[in-house]
Amino acid sequence: MSQLSVATVSQLRTIQQLVRMGRYAYCGVADEDMPGILAKRATILAAEREAMWGVMMVDPEARPLTLPAAAANRAQLRALAMRHGPWLETGTGELIGGLQRLLPDALRPLMLSTYATETWLHAGLMRAGFALADTVIYYRLDLPPQDAPSAPNANAAHPAGLHLAQLGETQALAEMDAEIFDPLWHFGAAEIMEMQVRGRVMIATVEGALAGYSALLAGPRREAHLARLGVHPRWQRTGIGRQLLTEVVHYAQNEGFSAVALNTQASNLRSQTLYASLGFAPSGIEIPILTYQIN
């Protein structure tokens, strides 16, 4: 019978060996970030006769103040690894069962989510009780060179005023984000501030009130990544999303970016229609998002 325990920082080397040498291994975290995650007391180790055979590294995030009160705390599955042996069929279930029993009360309730791109990982998580929350679809728009004619403005009506976000508007943006997106996808003030520092956040206003926003980050190979595009429920279906997206595309072309990339949920048909109308096309990458709730 397996012994399950909460991992500590003193076991870091053992965990790194499991992740590097395991027959089945998923890792979405850098070595230098592992000690901080272990300190949160949500990583589970499994052993049999004192020999470690599996690890599930869970990273609880600081709860955004703007996350709805009824929503669970959130965490990401950062690593899952098992040694060669009989554990592929049952090991993930044992590890998630240990997390259910050993998770600190301060972190409950907890919504655990992960990108499940590998067949063995997807199958093991589903057997352990994870559910498919949605699928993230990636889109891309190749941009002509700077000296080529710009794409026509697809939103001549200009229903909203646009301005670059200031740091003093971060909290208000987080509050609006909570009204736009479900708790699983919500960005809090810390995430929005990071986008402001690293990239370009544009706000749409109507009669002085926040109506929507976009966030554009520089990616590799001179590609731009649209990290956020959201419109307040009151102003959806008024053309503001199209206005924000058109502005992003024009800015990226003028700055010499080669493409704009973004992703959206498969369930968000309205956004997919908007992206297609401005020339974005699926890149062929689709990633399932699996979730598991611990009460």
CATH number of the domain that residue 190 is part of: 3.40.630.30
Residue 293 falls within a domain, yes or no? Answer: no
Is 65 in the same domain as 141? no
Is 228 in the same domain as 245? yes
The residue ranking higher by pLDDT, 160 or 210, is 210
The owner of tokens 């710009």 is 150
Residue 291 falls within a domain, yes or no? Answer: no
Q: Which domain holds residue 38?
A: 3-129
Residue 109 preceded by cis peptide, ω within 30 = yes
Tens digits of per-residue pLDDT, 230-255?
Answer: 999 999 999 999 999 999 999 999 99
Helix, strand, or coil (residue 150): coil
- Which pLDDT belongs to residue 160? 87
Is 122 in the same domain as 141? no
Residue 221 falls within a domain, yes or no? Answer: yes
Residue 173 falls within a domain, yes or no? Answer: yes
Measured from the Cβ of residue 281, the count of other Cβ atoms closer than 10 Å reads 11
- Which pLDDT belongs to residue 49? 86
Is 117 in the same domain as 24? yes
The encoded tokens of residue 39 equal 């300190």
The pTM score is 0.91
Q: Which helix (H) or strand (E) holds 121?
A: helix 119-127
- Which pLDDT belongs to residue 154? 46
Tens digits of per-residue pLDDT, 166-188?
Answer: 999 999 999 999 999 999 999 99
103: pLDDT strictly greater than 90: yes
Residue 149 falls within a domain, yes or no? Answer: yes
157: pLDDT strictly greater than 60: no
Task: Give the whole-number percent of the chain exceeding pLDDT 90.
Answer: 89
Residue 294 falls within a domain, yes or no? Answer: no
Is 151 in the same domain as 125? no
- Which pLDDT belongs to residue 158? 59
Residue 76 falls within a domain, yes or no? Answer: yes
Total domains present in the chain = 2
